[in-house]
Structure 1
Amino acid sequence: MRLSHIGLFVAGLTACSGEPPTTTSNTLQAQQSSVSTIRQYNVLFGGTDVGDMTITQKGPVIDINYGFSNNGRGASSEETLLLSEAGIPISWSIKGKTTFGNAVNETYELKDGVASWTAAAGAGEESIADDAIYIAQNPSPYALYLYTKTVLEAGGEPYPALPAGLVTVSEKRKLTLGSGESAVNATLYALGGINLNPSYVILDDKQEFVAVVSPRFALLREGLEGEDKRLRELAATLNTERYEDIAKDVTHQYEQTVRVNNVRIFDPKALALTALSSVVIKGNVITAIEPVQSQPATDEVFIDGEGGTLVAGLYDMHGHVGDDRAILNVMAGVTGMRDMGNEDDVLSALIDKIDKGILIGPKITKSGFIEGVSDYSAATGELAPTKEDALALIRDYAEKGYWQIKIYNSMNGEWVPDMTKEAHRLGLRVAGHVPAFYRADQMIEGGYDELTHINQIMLGWVLKPEEDTRTLFRITGMKRFVDLDLSSDAVKHTLDLMVENNIAHDPTMVIHEYAMTGRNGITNKAVANYVEHMPVSEQRSAKSAMLNVADEAEDQAYLTAYQKILDTLSLMHKRGILLVPGTDMGGAFYLHRELVLFEKIGMSAAEALKRGSYDMAQYLGHTERGAVEVGKEADFFLVHGDPTADLSVLKSMAMVVTQGKYYFPSEVYPEFGIKPFTEVPRVVVPD
């Protein structure tokens, strides 16, 4: 940490609790002449230094400058806070941009007992009788420290928050950071009540800010960068402990035969529901499908399906899975996930714990992430400075049992033919982005089996050869789709190549919809079906645009470009190109939306349901899954209603069965602040 003291100390600013100070010449003079304290912090992603944060405090006034850049994109902001005598913000201004460029101009003020705020999600106002702390929508990580410190100084009990909810803090670990005279005695706390999962905040023994950490991210006080790996591993351990505890509480396993009674079954081959029946399971295998039983047998576990529908587990074909996303995917019926880029040690450890029943998660198919070296390299997976390094990584992934490799933006496209040849020799498939300065056609000719993200294909039709897609331009450049002629020779040539070479495509429609149609103050279509059940922070995020939309012309450009994406995918579907459903947004409810978008490009709801379940099981070689049939694994979910008529009912899952275990999402969702969608079904267990 670097500290500097500027000027001579005089009487500092004072403010009555809950009220801003009166601005007079005396207080202005105090602001100008009081001691300033400057603290420096560094931002690290996966161990790579990608940004910094500077905090300047002068009495109750705090200025924060924060920013980072990773994978060609990043957030930045400048904040000014005025604190009350109790240390609670009574004035807060945040200006900057989000990771994908949406402008941030957020304000908060508490005056005469009335709190008012304006943020991307909209404006609000509330009279408050007692102290409450405003939860900013787009602050720097310093805000997490403010919330934590406020709760601790108030005695540690749940603390009221604005716009809604309660903030909680629990102590997790005592730590000594650094060594020698510069060693810092600190405490790591779990901050809850804001997001789906707790944030981990570290304070020193003087309750000053030290760090915010997660398994992938760390913001550390300057001088403590050497603690990055240890603290991220600790965050991963704490997450694991949390999810292990949840798994112990909500996992149901039965020694007896299980009968799921009074259900219709989605038949993916007939694209229809069967008549009402009962499904019999022993261990993790479906042993019989029989007529509906009128009452429970004395030697069976009896689960009443109440006329609902059984559907084989879904697959998210574009995930980046962690233990938090793992459990929420299973609760949403996503029992299979193809991970498209992760650290091998993290992913392998997660799979091992899922296989052992320690954690709840889907069956994970691994993709080996390989990135080239540039100023824009992603801090995920492995970097290959040379072609020989890339080939060595392919061999390493093959030895570790990966299903495919994934090539990323900074890769040298000239290496691709040799990389695909080596991957195919070893039995690996090849998927990926289109490397910068290349086109999809060249990657197909170079040996790709699958192309990732629809914009990666379409940008090759509208960009100039020298334009760089390693930056945010791969997102903002999509506005040029407005003038794209889908009957052009360039479009036809690419689609012809895809058909001739049997190229699959992972379009990730939902992230394009979220980015290109989302606008500040309006609930995003991608989440509108379920967001009212989510914590308030998730609801506010749903009303915040991902991209910066400057004016009406840009608004229309993005909307028109998004429709052009759907039109392109409709053409691909008509040509028989295999489109695989993936989200790149964590899966779960987003995967449900991805399937709805498959309807918009020409599929029926039943066809989309088949594509997300049976077709993907076949594509990945999981022949033991994908349908509710005798002899198959019991890998399915129970949902009320008919998803072949209306995919929106997928959110109301009453039960998920996978890997020999039974889960009732309504028992799990409260752990994440999610309001359940339905009741737990009636279960009769014999004595």
Structure 2
Amino acid sequence: MKSWRYLLPLITATMLVIPALRAAEPLSVVANGEVVGSVVVSEQQGKTQIVYRVDDNGRGPKLTTELQLGDAGIPLSLSVTGTSLMGGQVAEHYRYHQGVAEWQSQADSGKQSLTAPRLYIVNDSNPWLLGVYARALLAQPQHRLKVLPSGELSLQSLPQQVLGTGAQQLTLQVYRLTGLSLQPSYLMLDQQQQLFAVFSATGVTLRQGYEAQAGWLQSLAGDLETSRMRELQQQLAHQPSAQPLRLVNVHVLQVQQGQRTGLMSLQIKNGLISAIEPWHAGQHYPGETVYDANGGTLIPGLHDMHSHSTLDSGLWYLAAGITSTRDMGNDNQFLLDLIPRIDSGEIAGPRIVRNGFLEGRSPYSARDGFVVDSEQDAVAKVRWYKKHGYWQIKIYNSMNPAWVPAITREAHRLGMTVTGHIPAFTSPDQMIAAGYDEITHANQLMLGWLLHADEDTRTPLRLTAMVRAADLDLNSEQVQRTLSLMQQHHIPLDPTAVILERLMLSRAGAVTAGDKPYLSHMPIGYQRYRQRTFVPGLTPALDKQYHAAFNKMIALLGMMHDKQLQLLPGTDDTTGFTVLRELELYVQAGMTPAEAVRAGTLDCERYLGREQQLGSLEVGKRADMVLLRDNPLDNISNIRSAQMVIKDDSYYFPAEIYQALGVSPFALPPNKL
């Protein structure tokens, strides 16, 4: 399951508008150097039509938008039809008539009386509309606009860029658009204010004929975001200078025993835990930076064992209490550049363990890491990953199964292990025999029991076929045979149950159980994006089956826990909120809260081989911890109450991070004494 992060700046944009311009030039969508989609704009009988198509890794939005502008360039009506990322049906409509704005989308419906048309945030949008959006904002004195259904957008001008020479030279104005989603959007307008590009560090949509410039634009996005992240790190990271840092009036969770101490005082010097001792009211600590935890609970830093790092994911992770991640596939050069910046303290972020992504060449290839064309090439890339400090190899869906034994042999020879999806037209049992040391995603495991031999998991079938799990007998011979193989070979599962919950159970106009605790705090565009149906062709009967299938997956995780098979909490996401939900789902599957916290802390460090330094709160270990307002042993959901996060010689207050990111905080910082 590949992250769709390069699509997010494109599909959460809004609509809207300004006076008519010359016909827009078509755009290409580029991911990892390859064209994976297009945006074509035309005028038909006074209406603007935008056809947006993406086909990457067997999925992507396919949308047709039609809008009609009023005299002021604001849409009086618009419609969006087609399918969203995973094939879910889209039918969105907006109309302003006689002082009333009305809309209907996957997320919601509404009606509002207005004296004039207002910009409407479309739930299923496309990159071209960001240019229209920017022009609407440029017409405002402060470059800010209140929008429908709610919220406010702002536009910041950044330095111009010059592209090409001679007659082909273009002077392009760069802008940063914020207030819409979790990350800002970057875009370029030419001197006629036509859209030239929408770009990020992981993907680009740009004018056709300029596809060769996609790499340059990604680098520019990286530079702009790095600058922003550097400024935020300077603003949000706290250091106690030469003074020790101390937390008092605090309980310490001993994850080995699953117990909480009485009220303690914990001291940190030079990034290490230097003392844990009983605390009594009235004690003084001259020459130290002291915070009163007010009876809160300290736990070790949490882990996301299935991440796809971005420049700004670090702050989201730290705010949620996640101090370590395992990157399961990325642009290799981007990741090699990112990690030293985090480790040096230039920008904020968790510790990152890097996995080397290997994919085979096919029409469905995912485009992270390396896409290989031969067994020899695949083995050579394993050596490249080892040389560059990667911890593990991750194999993806289009890999030729016949090449896997050679890949795993070379990885094992070099002291690496192998995880991944189950390549198309094979099974978990076969990949265990071929040398897999771990399996990624619960659906990749379960599809081996649900699919026919000729069914292709390179397509969205790897999600939709999960509905068949509703009738799966977990005690059947085939299920138990695979679990026995996993026991014999000590093979853990990285379930990413949270992302499967989101993809299988998200419904138009509703908020999933995993999103309810935090979604109302988020920017309006993200709130609306989370309220949609991903699975296609949904009927009441099919909806019931999907819920039954998801419950069967949770039961499988409980069975695996009973069999002492390790579950590695991962998310395929970057917000941190999903890590917290993953652990809630483990408790739902049968773990105790203490076992779930240990699964997300010490057990991960033991798997990574770093338990001598990290994973538990002990004198001499690295300072890596989260102060929770509430006790997670009472209720696992109390891990959502982070007040302070400490990583080595820096500490952060989640409330400050969330405010800087446009999110309403969840818990106040502790008091400084």
The TM-score, its normalising length taken from structure 1, stands at 0.93
Q: Tell whether the 8 Å contact from 1:316 to 1:587 is kept in structure 2 after alignment.
A: no
Q: Which residue number corresponds to residue 430 of structure 2?
A: 442
| 1:326 equivalent in alignment to 2:314 | yes
Q: Tell whether the 8 Å contact from 1:131 to 1:160 is kept in structure 2 after alignment.
A: no
Larger Rg: 1
Q: C-alpha separation between the residues in 2 aligned to 1:157 and 1:51?
A: 31
1:431-470 CA-to-partner distances (Å, cap 9, x unmatched) read 0110000000000011110001111111111211111100
Q: Tell whether the 8 Å contact from 1:36 to 1:57 is kept in structure 2 after alignment.
A: no
1:468-496 CA-to-partner distances (Å, cap 9, x unmatched) read 10011111111221222222211111111
Q: Which moved more, 1:653-662 or 1:56-65?
A: 56-65
SS at match of 2:366: coil
Q: Tell whether the 8 Å contact from 2:101 to 2:117 is kept in structure 1 after alignment.
A: no
Q: C-alpha separation between the residues in 2 aligned to 1:264 and 1:546?
A: 42
SS at match of 1:610: helix
| 1:638 equivalent in alignment to 2:627 | yes
Q: C-alpha separation between the residues in 1 aligned to 2:450 and 2:181?
A: 39
**Correspondent of 1:37 among 23, 34, 37:** 23
From the superposition, tell whether residues 60 and 502 of structure 1 become closer, same or farther in structure 2 (CA, over 3 Å). Answer: same
Q: Tell whether the 8 Å contact from 2:238 to 2:651 is kept in structure 1 after alignment.
A: yes
| 1:223 equivalent in alignment to 2:209 | yes
How far did residue 376 of structure 1 move? 0.7
Q: Which amino acid aligns with 1:475?
A: L
1:248-284 CA-to-partner distances (Å, cap 9, x unmatched) read 0111111201110000011111111110111011110
From the superposition, tell whether residues 383 and 272 of structure 1 become closer, same or farther in structure 2 (CA, over 3 Å). Answer: same
| 1:556 equivalent in alignment to 2:544 | yes
1:544-566 CA-to-partner distances (Å, cap 9, x unmatched) read 12223421121112111111111
1:479-522 CA-to-partner distances (Å, cap 9, x unmatched) read 22122222221111111111111111111100111111111111
How far did residue 541 of structure 1 move? 2.1
From the superposition, tell whether residues 278 and 59 of structure 1 become closer, same or farther in structure 2 (CA, over 3 Å). Answer: farther
**Correspondent of 1:287 among 271, 274, 291:** 274
Q: Which residue number corresponds to residue 615 of structure 2?
A: 626
From the superposition, tell whether residues 156 and 224 of structure 1 become closer, same or farther in structure 2 (CA, over 3 Å). Answer: farther
Displacement over 6 Å in runs of 4+? none
| 1:421 equivalent in alignment to 2:409 | yes
How far did residue 538 of structure 1 move? 2.1
Q: Which amino acid aligns with 2:297?
A: T
Q: Tell whether the 8 Å contact from 1:413 to 1:435 is kept in structure 2 after alignment.
A: yes
RMSD across aligned positions (CA): 1.7
Q: Which amino acid aligns with 1:670?
A: Q
Superposed, 1:296-315 pairs within 5 Å as 296-315=284-303
Q: C-alpha separation between the residues in 2 aligned to 1:232 and 1:323?
A: 12
Q: Which moved more, 1:330-339 or 1:568-577?
A: 568-577
Superposed, 1:330-345 pairs within 5 Å as 330-345=318-333
**Correspondent of 2:102 among 93, 111, 116:** 116
Superposed, 1:241-640 pairs within 5 Å as 241-254=227-240, 255-293=242-280, 294-623=282-611, 624-640=613-629
From the superposition, tell whether residues 540 and 311 of structure 1 become closer, same or farther in structure 2 (CA, over 3 Å). Answer: same
How far did residue 140 of structure 1 move? 1.0
How far did residue 212 of structure 1 move? 0.6
How far did residue 182 of structure 1 move? 2.6
Q: Which residue number corresponds to residue 181 of structure 1?
A: 167
Q: Tell whether the 8 Å contact from 1:178 to 1:224 is kept in structure 2 after alignment.
A: no
Q: C-alpha separation between the residues in 2 aligned to 1:258 and 1:39?
A: 57
From the superposition, tell whether residues 206 and 63 of structure 1 become closer, same or farther in structure 2 (CA, over 3 Å). Answer: same
Q: Tell whether the 8 Å contact from 2:137 to 2:144 is kept in structure 1 after alignment.
A: yes
Q: Which residue number corresponds to residue 650 of structure 1?
A: 639
Q: C-alpha separation between the residues in 1 aligned to 2:21 and 2:484?
A: 69
| 1:170 equivalent in alignment to 2:156 | yes
1:91-121 CA-to-partner distances (Å, cap 9, x unmatched) read 1100011111111111111112211110111
Superposed, 1:198-213 pairs within 5 Å as 198-213=184-199
SS at match of 1:116: strand
1:330-355 CA-to-partner distances (Å, cap 9, x unmatched) read 11110000000012211111101001
Q: Which residue number corresponds to residue 83 of structure 1?
A: 69
Q: C-alpha separation between the residues in 1 aligned to 2:44 and 2:549?
A: 48
Q: Which amino acid aligns with 1:649?
A: N
How far did residue 35 of structure 1 move? 11
| 1:104 equivalent in alignment to 2:90 | yes
Q: C-alpha separation between the residues in 2 aligned to 1:179 and 1:469?
A: 46
1:195-226 CA-to-partner distances (Å, cap 9, x unmatched) read 12210111111111111111111111112212
Aligned residues: 654
Q: C-alpha separation between the residues in 2 aligned to 1:457 and 1:35?
A: 52
Q: Which residue number corresponds to residue 136 of structure 1?
A: 122
Q: C-alpha separation between the residues in 1 aligned to 2:219 and 2:182?
A: 20
From the superposition, tell whether residues 287 and 519 of structure 1 become closer, same or farther in structure 2 (CA, over 3 Å). Answer: same
1:354-394 CA-to-partner distances (Å, cap 9, x unmatched) read 01101100010010000011111111110111111011011
| 1:663 equivalent in alignment to 2:652 | yes
Q: C-alpha separation between the residues in 2 aligned to 1:549 and 1:269?
A: 47
Q: C-alpha separation between the residues in 2 aligned to 1:60 and 1:298?
A: 74
Q: Which residue number corresponds to residue 68 of structure 1?
A: 54
Q: C-alpha separation between the residues in 2 aligned to 1:378 and 1:212?
A: 21
Q: C-alpha separation between the residues in 2 aligned to 1:87 and 1:59?
A: 16
Q: Tell whether the 8 Å contact from 2:316 to 2:574 is kept in structure 1 after alignment.
A: no
Q: Which amino acid aligns with 1:550?
A: L
Q: Which amino acid aligns with 1:431?
A: T
Q: Which amino acid aligns with 2:168?
A: S
Q: C-alpha separation between the residues in 1 aligned to 2:400 and 2:428?
A: 14
Structure 2: 5+ residue stretches without partners: 1-15
Q: C-alpha separation between the residues in 2 aligned to 1:511 and 1:601?
A: 16
SS at match of 1:133: coil
Q: Tell whether the 8 Å contact from 1:409 to 1:434 is kept in structure 2 after alignment.
A: yes
Q: Which moved more, 1:128-137 or 1:255-264?
A: 128-137
Higher relative contact order (CA 8 A, sep 6+): 2
Q: C-alpha separation between the residues in 1 aligned to 2:164 and 2:537?
A: 44
Q: Tell whether the 8 Å contact from 1:177 to 1:224 is kept in structure 2 after alignment.
A: no
Q: Tell whether the 8 Å contact from 1:188 to 1:201 is kept in structure 2 after alignment.
A: yes
Q: Tell whether the 8 Å contact from 2:118 to 2:147 is kept in structure 1 after alignment.
A: yes
1:52-97 CA-to-partner distances (Å, cap 9, x unmatched) read 1100135852101110111111111001011122222221100011
Q: Which moved more, 1:433-442 or 1:613-622?
A: 613-622
SS at match of 1:95: strand
Structure 1: 5+ residue stretches without partners: 1-17, 20-33
SS at match of 1:134: coil
Q: C-alpha separation between the residues in 1 aligned to 2:496 and 2:65?
A: 34
**Correspondent of 1:674 among 642, 655, 663:** 663
Q: Which amino acid aligns with 1:70?
A: D
SS at match of 1:172: strand
1:226-263 CA-to-partner distances (Å, cap 9, x unmatched) read 22111111111111111110000111111201110000
Q: C-alpha separation between the residues in 1 aligned to 2:525 and 2:536?
A: 20
SS at match of 1:37: coil
How far did residue 651 of structure 1 move? 2.1
SS at match of 1:51: strand
Q: C-alpha separation between the residues in 1 aligned to 2:468 and 2:313?
A: 34
